[in-house]
Copies of this chain bind each other. A is one copy, B any other.
Amino acid sequence: MQPEIPDHMFYSFLTGGLCASSSTNSTTTTSSFYPFAIEDTVSQDKALAAQRNHKEAERRRRERINSHLNKLRKLLSCNSKTDKATLLAQVVQRVKELKQQTLEITDETLPSETDEISVLNSEDSSSYDDGRIIFKVSFSCEDRPDLFKDLMETLESLQMETIFADLTTVGGRSRNVLVVAADKEHHGVESVQFLQNALKSLLERSSKSVMMGHGGGGGGGGERLKRRRALDHIIMV
C-alpha cells in the first residue's frame, strides 16, 4: 500500500548528511565537532526516527482531510476531478441553500420559537356555512400534557365547534391550527376578541406550568433545528 521510502532519500541526505538543518544546528552539535562521532550517530538516529514519525503523521493527516473531501464530493454528487477549492465553494453554497430551505419550510409549517396567536374571521372568503361564523385559529406555544384537553374545554365553554384541527408538536413546541364554527345566535364578529383572550390565558397557563428550563427563547436563532427529531403531526376532522 505505502510506497515506503519512494524518493525522500534526496531530502534525507540533505538533513542528515552534509548540510546542517536551519534549526537543529545548535542542538546536535554541542558536545563534538567531529561529523561522524559516536554521540552524533546516536542522536542522528533519534532525530531521523523523529522525522520519519513526523513525515508519516503528516501523511496520515493529509489522508484524513482528503477522505473527508471525497465524502463531500459524493454528497454533492460531483465529479471526483473537481478542484479542492471549487468543491469547497460548492459545499459552502450547498450548506447555505440547505439552511435557507429548512428555515423557509420550517417557518411555514412547524411551531415558531416564540409564542404567537392569530385568530381570523374567515367569513369573507367563502360563506357556504350560512348559519355559522367560521374562525381560523392558529397559535404556537410550549407543549404540555394537557394542552389539547384545555384547548377543547376552552372552545366548548365558548360554545364553539371544532371543524378541523391540525396539530403539530415537535421539539417541545406545539403549533395548532384550528377551524372552529360558532352559532350566529350566540356570537358575532366581535367574538374574535373572546377567542383571542381565551387563548392568551391558555398560553399563560402553559408558561406557568413550565416556567424555567427554557431561558430567553429569543437569542441566537441559528441552530434551532438541531434538536428537532421525528415530528409528531396530527390532523383531525
Q: How large is the interface on A (under 10, 10 to 19, 20 to 34, 35 or more residues)?
A: 35 or more
Given contacts A95-B95, A236-B126, contact A222 B10 (CB under 8 A): no
Q: Which residues of B contact A122 (CB under 8 A)?
A: 237
Convert A95-132 into 0s and 1s, putting 1 for each residue whose CB lies closer than 8 angstroms to a CB of B: 11011011011101110000000000010011010000
Q: Which of B72, B125, B128, B236 contacts A95 (CB 8 A)?
A: B72
Convert A56-78 into 0s and 1s, putting 1 for each residue whose CB lies closer than 8 angstroms to a CB of B: 00000100110011011001110
Q: Which residues of B contact A106 (CB under 8 A)?
A: 105
A88 at the interface (CB under 8 A from B): yes
Q: Which of B10, B179, B223, B235 contacts A136 (CB 8 A)?
A: B235
Given contacts A77-B223, A125-B237, contact A72 B101 (CB under 8 A): no
Given contacts A179-B237, A237-B163, contact A95 B98 (CB under 8 A): yes
Are B88 and A75 in touch, CB under 8 angstroms? no
Closest chain-B Cβ to A103's Cβ sits at a distance in Å of 10
A231 at the interface (CB under 8 A from B): yes
Q: Which residues of B contact A72 (CB under 8 A)?
A: 88, 91-92, 95
Closest chain-B Cβ to A58's Cβ sits at a distance in Å of 12
Which residues of A153-207 are within 8 A (CB) of B? 161-164, 166, 177, 179
Are B92 and A102 in touch, CB under 8 angstroms? no
Specify the chain B residue showing the minimal Cβ separation from A126: B236
Are B64 and A85 in touch, CB under 8 angstroms? yes
Are A77 and B222 in touch, CB under 8 angstroms? yes
Are A85 and B99 in touch, CB under 8 angstroms? no
Specify the chain B residue showing the minimal Cβ separation from A161: B128
Q: Which residues of B contact A14 (CB under 8 A)?
A: 14
A94 at the interface (CB under 8 A from B): yes
How far apart are the CA atoms of A233 and B107 in the complex, in Å?
A: 12
Q: Which residues of B contact A222 (CB under 8 A)?
A: 77
Q: Which residues of B contact A94 (CB under 8 A)?
A: 95
Specify the chain B residue showing the minimal Cβ separation from A71: B92
How far apart are the CA atoms of A64 and B232 in the complex, in Å?
A: 44
6 contacts across the A-B interface (CB closer than 8 A): A68-B89, A72-B91, A101-B102, A126-B236, A163-B164, A166-B166
15 new A-B contacts, CB < 8 A, other than A68-B88, A68-B91, A108-B233, are A7-B22, A61-B85, A68-B89, A68-B92, A71-B92, A91-B91, A98-B98, A98-B99, A104-B231, A105-B105, A105-B110, A126-B237, A128-B161, A163-B163, A163-B179
